[in-house]
Structure 1
Amino acid sequence: MTLELPGPLVSTEWLADHLSSPELVLLDATFAMPGATPTAPEIFAASHIPGARFFDIDHIADPNSPLPHMLPSPEDFATVAEGLGIHDGAPVVIYDATGLMSAPRAWWTLRVFGHENVAILNGGFRKWKAEGRAETTEPAPPKKATFTPRFRPELVRSREDVLTNLDTAAAQVIDARAADRFEGTVPEPRPGIRSGHIPGSLNLPFGKLSDPATGEVLPPEALAERFRDAGLDPHKPVITSCGSGVTAGVLAFTLSLLGRDDVAVYDGSWSEWGREGDTPVATGKA
């Protein structure tokens, strides 16, 4: 019998019931900022859900880009996916340590390369641990897989695309960073990056889209209210952004829960736009 995901969000109960399924691919996509301790690999090594493999956002990336964790080539991603045991059509569940922070980056990456059978664990490892469920430090055994990448360029935006959008205003840009970073009232955490935001962009800090007590995604009506309050038109194209293309995935994922499967992520995000150069920068509130 083929294992079917119940939807784009799976509960801890569902995962516990299906954890032993040989078809399931479970990924831990925990992420930590540069210089933070412990590092994301250290967090994973210290404890994770049994059977999980580590989706290393910093290293599943273009090795030739000066920017952090930019998308790899389709060929390189296929090699990574096969190493993680992801075969074509496999049911994949992704989580992170905090609940809803970096798992959507991995969700988006899989979708960019054509893998749609993917869900996020609601509440992540945080909720799993709070419920006293099984943990381990053991690595998952190798799993043979064949992955065929099918690149979807419509889900990715470049610096040039966003510059063009300044003139056309064809899409709304919405930024997942904290309000003080968006408004330019605090320094950016990465050296050499200007403070502020893309002119004309909206702001919705990613943490407002999950329950602060549990890490679970807010109900659809609450998500819709958050986006509406941020000024987003639900019928107009959307580009999401953030500090380096990680939490932009939270906005893309939660918009997909509201029926918007066409949302694109600006991969370089502020780590590219905010560098010294000819990209215009705005400050203050949206």
Structure 2
Amino acid sequence: MNIWPLKNIRIIDATTRLKLATSDGRSAYESGRQAFERQHIPGAVFADLLTDFADTGAPHPITVPSSEQFARAIGALGVSNDTHVIVYDQLEGDTWPEYYPFWASRFWWHLRLEGHTKVSVLEGGLAKWKQEGRQIETGPVKVEPTQFTARRQPGLLARVDDVVSAIGANDVLLISALSPAIYSGEKQVYPRAGHIPRSKNVFFGDLIDTSSGRFADPAVVRPLLQQVGALDPAVKPIVYCGSGIAATIVALQLARLGRTDVAVYDGSMTEWVADERRPLQVS
């Protein structure tokens, strides 16, 4: 069923479940496919961020796959280069903070990484949709596949070598999206505590209402990002978190303020702490 009056729109449910890491640094991941089949916005299709849109052979989960894999997977969902994508997730707010419920921003960033800028995030996701009394559907959805050409934007993706170089660079700004307690090292959820040296802290939870999934107003967000220098055009921001998910909320909020050049460190702390030669700072 297609309830949308405009043509060339594809609604995508990016729901995933991530049980947050404890002191051993291990997280548990679960596909949102079953949740999608139980209920979803009419006309929506499901994007499996754990398999179809990830390099499953990489050492760490949810690693960005090749552009070729992305193109095949997004084309299979009926998305062409002319399609406007509206992405949402199911925002199970009652599972926070044990489970991380915000995934739409990750897929928003991934689409932009592969050169697709015709993408919007539905604020509040399925939860707000249902609260407003809107129609839902159930069951799997099949669509006609189409052709998508990926045009990767390498400036939006940071690798570990980029972060190593950034530590000694004055024109790159590292931003941790983790909580102040994890950033400072007071709370340890990875095998080693602390943050990447010279990085600033902007907690993603201050940029979003974790109960409703709505994004904080730009008037609220601007001073938080300004005070760490993230709006300075002379520096290149690289944001990170635990696994490159929460960091995309910071990237999205910066994009709303006009910074569309923000890179996400895909491996984030999961990759960084795995090598004891990589420094950490506790403060």
Contact 1:82 1:147 in 2 (8 A): yes
Partners of 1:278 and 1:41 lie apart in 2 by 38
1:36, distance to aligned residue in structure 2 (A): 5.4
SS of residue paired to 2:16: coil
**Aligned residues, how many?**
264
SS of residue paired to 1:277: coil
Cα displacement string for residues 230-257 of structure 1 (whole angstroms, at most 9, x for unaligned residues) = x234112101101101111111111000
SS of residue paired to 2:264: strand
Superposed CA RMSD in Å reads: 2.1
Partners of 1:83 and 1:244 lie apart in 2 by 26
1:22, distance to aligned residue in structure 2 (A): 4.6
Partners of 2:150 and 2:244 lie apart in 1 by 21
**What residue number does 1:182 align with?**
183
**What residue number does 2:229 align with?**
232
Identical aligned residues as a percent: 35
Partners of 2:166 and 2:211 lie apart in 1 by 37
SS of residue paired to 2:73: helix
**What residue number does 1:32 align with?**
17
Partners of 2:70 and 2:170 lie apart in 1 by 32
**What residue number does 1:246 align with?**
245
1:37, distance to aligned residue in structure 2 (A): 8.6
Q: Confirm or deny that 1:215 pairs with 2:207.
A: no
Contact 1:112 1:155 in 2 (8 A): yes
SS of residue paired to 1:254: helix
Letter paired with 1:77: F
SS of residue paired to 1:143: coil
**What residue number does 1:201 align with?**
199
Query: Which structure: greater strand fraction?
Result: 2
1:264, distance to aligned residue in structure 2 (A): 0.6
1:141, distance to aligned residue in structure 2 (A): 2.6
Contact 1:196 1:282 in 2 (8 A): yes
Letter paired with 1:57: L
SS of residue paired to 1:27: strand
Cα displacement string for residues 115-153 of structure 1 (whole angstroms, at most 9, x for unaligned residues) = 111111122222112112112222223123110011111
Contact 2:184 2:282 in 1 (8 A): yes
1:213, distance to aligned residue in structure 2 (A): 4.8
**What residue number does 2:23 align with?**
none
Contact 1:194 1:276 in 2 (8 A): no
> Please, which moves more after superposition, 173-182 or 81-90?
173-182
1:85-96 correspondence to structure 2 within 5 Å: 85-96=78-89
SS of residue paired to 1:223: helix
Q: Mark the CA change 1:246 to 1:213 in structure 2 (over 3 Å): closer, same or farther.
A: closer
SS of residue paired to 1:51: coil
SS of residue paired to 1:265: strand
Give structure 2 stretches of 5+ with no counterpart. 20-26, 94-100
Contact 1:101 1:206 in 2 (8 A): no
**What residue number does 1:81 align with?**
74
1:148-167 correspondence to structure 2 within 5 Å: 148-167=149-168
Stretches (4+) displaced over 6 A: none
Question: Normalising to structure 1: TM-score of the pair?
Answer: 0.85
Question: Normalising to structure 2: TM-score of the pair?
Answer: 0.86
Q: Confirm or deny that 1:97 pairs with 2:97.
A: no
Partners of 2:210 and 2:106 lie apart in 1 by 20
**What residue number does 1:145 align with?**
146
Contact 1:49 1:135 in 2 (8 A): yes
**What residue number does 2:97 align with?**
none
**What residue number does 2:280 align with?**
281
Contact 1:48 1:136 in 2 (8 A): yes
Partners of 2:126 and 2:251 lie apart in 1 by 21
